[in-house]
């Protein structure tokens, strides 16, 4: 990795840790977002000098992305790589020539010199690998989504409750300073009572990857088949629904929706367009929409209050009645509010599309520009490095 990439990634991590100290109500923040406790300066001092010996299970594009991040951490050492697909394993081995290679993850779990595992496999394998890893006494960092079925999620939760191991899932928004500060402002009553949520994610791509032979179609393009994937809901929506539940402080009790294969009629089984409404017990609702055949409206995570709207994706909020200011109220975590000395926007590795001309006004004296991941600190920095560091 180039020096500037290393520097940018390190700066993003250090800024995040330092910025936690600027957030108001530190104790209350950690009570409402306990996962951030691993990132506090106090916790970092406790673990100073320690080194985690890790195994990477699943060495595809996402796994190799984690390798690049882990290699920058002096407190992490990749000692093993595992994948059933030889081309991916070979590419990962070139990045970590010192790591032992495996094709059976159960052999990895037998190794006494491994403290934890990073699971970057297809979704359908998350549950068995996570359960076996916890049973083997390993700490677990797993890619989202948690699992393919609710029964598998419950099994993982029960196993975690019975263990004394750490269990992390790679939900980047939970470590994004914009979202953290936004949730803080919501809980402080800035936009009033939360009355609803609106989220959407639009792309224009078929999600397909080239396969060397027809026999490998389902293994490589697993996202397109119901046996392995939940489609748009597990690959995209899970990020946004987590944000809504954080804002609501609870989870929905019912859901209704529909999905269809509208455009990509290429043999896939999962929908390429979905419309879903989640309902909380108190009547509040999440309106969610996603499709992958039109990208004009990009991606938005909006929390609606009776006094204003928090647009977490852009990092701004709007007030219902404010004659003293123009359309954009402020950037969450702005320099003016002395929340962040700089704003390390955690851009996504998935590069979400952003609606054209979405910024109606300049932001805070032109010092910061809101973006959707195209221009950010680091290369494809989606906050995964911060989550890995916390793990």
Give 102's contacts (C-beta < 8 A, 6+ positions apart): 80, 81, 82, 108
Report, as an integer, the average pLDDT of 275-297.
97
The 8-class DSSP code of residue 143 comes to P
pLDDT tens, position by position, 120-162: 999 999 999 999 999 999 999 999 999 999 999 999 999 999 9
Q: If you classify domain 177-366 with CATH, what class do you get?
A: alpha beta
Segment 265-276, tens digit of pLDDT: 999 999 999 999
Quote the CA–CA distance of 340 and 11 in Å, as a whole number.
Answer: 13
User: What is the percentage of the chain residues whose pLDDT exceeds 90?
Assistant: 59
Instruction: Give the pLDDT confidence score for residue 370 in this predicted structure.
Output: 38
Which DSSP category does 172 fall into? G
- Residue ranges matching CATH 3.30.360.10 in the chain: 177-366
Pair 318, 330: CB distance under 8 Å: no
What are residue 354's phi and psi, to 5 degrees? Answer: -120, 135
Cα–Cα distance measured from residue 249 to residue 187, given in angstroms and rounded to the nearest whole number = 10
- The pLDDT, as a whole number, for residue 49 is 72
Greater confidence (241 vs 336) lies with: 241
- Model pLDDT, residue 69: 87
pLDDT of residue 75: 84
Q: What is the mean pLDDT of the chain?
A: 80
Three-class HEC string of 34-50: HHHHHHCHHHHHHCCCC
Residues in the chain: 391
Per-residue model confidence (pLDDT) at position 328? 45
Q: Which two tokens stand for residue 302?
A: 């909006």
Alpha helix segments (H runs only) across 110-266? 126-135, 150-162, 177-187, 217-220, 232, 238-248
Q: What is the mean pLDDT of residues 174-199?
A: 90
Segment 293-307 mean pLDDT: 95
When pLDDT is averaged across residues 186-203 and rounded to a whole number, the result is 95
Of the CATH numbers 1.10.10.10, 3.40.50.880, 3.60.110.10, 3.40.50.720, which one belongs to the domain with range 3-174+383-390?
3.40.50.720
- CA separation for the pair 318, 335 (Å, rounded): 18
Q: What mean pLDDT comes out for the span 356-364?
A: 29
Q: Does residue 352 have a pLDDT over 90?
A: no
Domain with CATH 3.40.50.720 in the chain: 3-174+383-390
From 114-123, 267-276, 337-346, 366-375, the region with the lowest mean pLDDT: 366-375
* Six token digits for residue 17: 């840790």
d(CA 349, CA 355): 18
Q: Is the pLDDT of residue 3 over 50?
A: no
Residue 74's pLDDT is what? 83
231 vs 259: CA distance, rounded Å = 10
Q: SS3 for 87?
A: helix
């Amino acid at each position: 990795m180039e020096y500037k990439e290393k520097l940018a990634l390190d700066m993003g991590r250090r800024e995040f840790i330092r910025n936690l100290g600027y957030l108001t109500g530190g104790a209350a923040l950690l009570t409402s977002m306990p996962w951030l406790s691993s990132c506090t300066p106090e916790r970092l001092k406790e673990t100073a000098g320690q080194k985690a010996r890790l195994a990477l299970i699943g060495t595809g594009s996402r796994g190799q992305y984690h390798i690049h991040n882990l290699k920058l951490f002096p407190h992490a050492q990749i000692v093993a790589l595992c994948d059933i697909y030889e081309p991916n394993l070979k590419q990962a081995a070139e990045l970590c020539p010192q790591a032992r290679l495996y094709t059976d993850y159960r052999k990895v779990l037998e190794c006494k010199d491994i403290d934890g595992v990073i699971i970057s496999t297809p979704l359908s394998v998350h549950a068995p690998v996570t359960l076996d890893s916890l049973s083997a006494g390993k700490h677990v960092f797993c890619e989202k989504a948690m699992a393919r079925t609710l029964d598998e999620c419950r099994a993982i939760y029960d196993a975690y409750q019975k263990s004394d191991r750490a269990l992390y899932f790679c939900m980047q928004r939970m470590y994004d300073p914009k979202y953290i500060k936004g949730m803080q402002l919501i809980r402080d009553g800035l936009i009033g009572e939360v009355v609803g949520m609106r989220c959407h994610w639009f792309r224009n791509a078929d999600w397909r990857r080239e396969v060397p032979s027809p026999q490998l179609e389902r293994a490589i393009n697993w996202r397109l088949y119901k046996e392995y994937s939940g489609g748009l809901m597990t690959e995209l929506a899970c990020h946004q629904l987590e944000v809504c539940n954080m804002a609501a402080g609870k989870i929905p009790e019912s859901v209704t929706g529909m999905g269809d294969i509208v455009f990509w009629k290429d043999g896939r089984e999962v929908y390429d367009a979905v419309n879903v409404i989640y309902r909380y017990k108190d009547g509040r609702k999440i309106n969610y929409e996603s499709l992958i055949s039109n990208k004009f409206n990009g991606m938005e995570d909006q929390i609606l209050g009776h006094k204003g709207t928090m647009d977490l994706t852009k990092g701004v909020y709007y007030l219902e009645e404010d004659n003293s200011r123009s359309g954009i109220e402020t950037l969450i975590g702005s320099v003016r509010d002395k929340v962040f000395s700089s704003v390390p926007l955690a851009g996504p590795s998935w590069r979400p599309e952003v609606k054209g001309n979405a910024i109606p006004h300049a932001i805070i004296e032109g010092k910061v520009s809101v973006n959707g991941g195209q221009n950010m600190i680091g290369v494809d920095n989606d906050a995964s490095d911060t989550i890995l560091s916390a793990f």
